[in-house]
Amino acid sequence: MSILDQPSSSSLSGGGGMTRRQAWGLVGLLAAAIVAWLVFAVWPAWLNAILISKKAFVSAILNGLTLAGLYFLVASGFTLIFGLMRNINLAHGSLYLLGAYIGYEVTSRTGYWLLGVAAGFAVLAIIGVIMQVFVFRRLEGDDLRQTLVTIGISIVAADLMLAVWAGGTYQIATPEWLDGALTLPVITAVRSNGASVFLTYPLYRVVVLAAAIVIGVGLWLMLNRTRVGMMIRAGVDDRAMLSASGVNVHAVFAIVFAVGAGLAGFAGVVGGSALSVAPGEDVRYLLASLVVVIVGGMGSITGAAIGALLIGLAEQIGLVYFPTYGVVLTFVIMVVTLAVRPQGIMGKAR
């Protein structure tokens, strides 16, 4: 594509002698410079007047990044499952919430937070395999019924979770070594005596973001560098062909479902520690995954990352600058994406 594009674009831009890629690179560099200046420079008064305060702005961006990390964890499982099985798992939010509850139980009983995280992942991975083997395998090739079944499962699951854990709000206790705040090298203001005020940010949220990045890179490596990943990618492109070439497709499906559901459970514990666990969170994270995946493109991990970044940042920035219309911003992003690129930013046209 790009090789074919280059001659025409360079002839169009004429005198500058710049290719389209170079032009975009320049734009990207400029944008990065502006963002870097916004984050690290001491703001002049007029900018503070427009954007409330530097502290609010940088906090919104950091919160947005953390939230994006959480959304990515939830949505990557969702998008993997869809990409391979054409199965819109509308019970994905329930998996998130169940993971959070399990994480809460394990953490509060044993006192080890990491054990809770591991339990959230492991239990949900097993549940994912069970769902795939006993439910979806029976309805293979019937997208609509599979989706309807996931709706039924999510209703029953939400009700049963309400029965067990009631309507209260839980908070998963984070261990001491994750508490506290991190002082970032970002100057929010300069006091009258000349001392700089540095921004502090909860350490736990930084860890969430780091975990999301590590898992994202791990998923990418798994998909692009391992044999299983190769099979998964082949299955996304052509399921019938993969099956015809002698691969046990059902085993691949089960692995993907285990990873997808496990990630939802993992995100549940991690998110439940950062925010809170309560009924209704399942719908919130289902909506988030839906929008992230619609924007990013179905079946693409990179797309899920881009979508999560956009939605997470939009949500938090919206929360600070136009509180009651924050949801609309998310929605506008979705509609614009659908209007310009119906298959999503990284999605392939089918």
Question: Which stretches of the chain bind other proteins, using CB under 8 A?
Answer: 86, 88, 90, 138-139, 142-145, 147-149, 151-153, 155-156, 158-160, 162-163, 283, 286-287, 290-291, 293-294, 298, 323-328, 330-331, 334-335, 338-339, 342-343
How far apart are CB 230 and other proteins at their closest, in Å? 26
Which element (helix H / strand E) includes 182? strand 181-190
- Encoding tokens for residue 327? 């949801």
Helix (H, G, I), strand (E, B) or coil at 133: helix
| Nearer Cβ to other proteins (241/332) | 332
| Nearer Cβ to other proteins (60/149) | 149
Helix (H, G, I), strand (E, B) or coil at 183: strand
How far apart are CB 143 and other proteins at their closest, in Å? 5
The answer to whether the Cα torsion of 23, 29, 33, 38 is positive or negative is positive
| Nearer Cβ to other proteins (76/188) | 76
Q: Which residues contact 17 (CB under 8 A, 6 or more apart)?
A: 10
| Nearer Cβ to other proteins (157/215) | 157
Helix (H, G, I), strand (E, B) or coil at 44: coil
| Nearer Cβ to other proteins (206/298) | 298
Closest CA to 335 of 327, 78, 143: 327
How far apart are CB 142 and other proteins at their closest, in Å? 8
Single-letter amino acid, residue 214 = V
How far apart are CB 122 and other proteins at their closest, in Å? 26
Q: How many CB atoms lie within 10 A of CB 45?
A: 6
Which element (helix H / strand E) includes 198? strand 196-202
How far apart are CB 254 and other proteins at their closest, in Å? 20
| Nearer Cβ to other proteins (30/327) | 327
How far apart are CB 242 and other proteins at their closest, in Å? 21
Q: Residue 141 region, left (φ>0) first, then alpha (ψ -120 to 50), else beta?
A: left
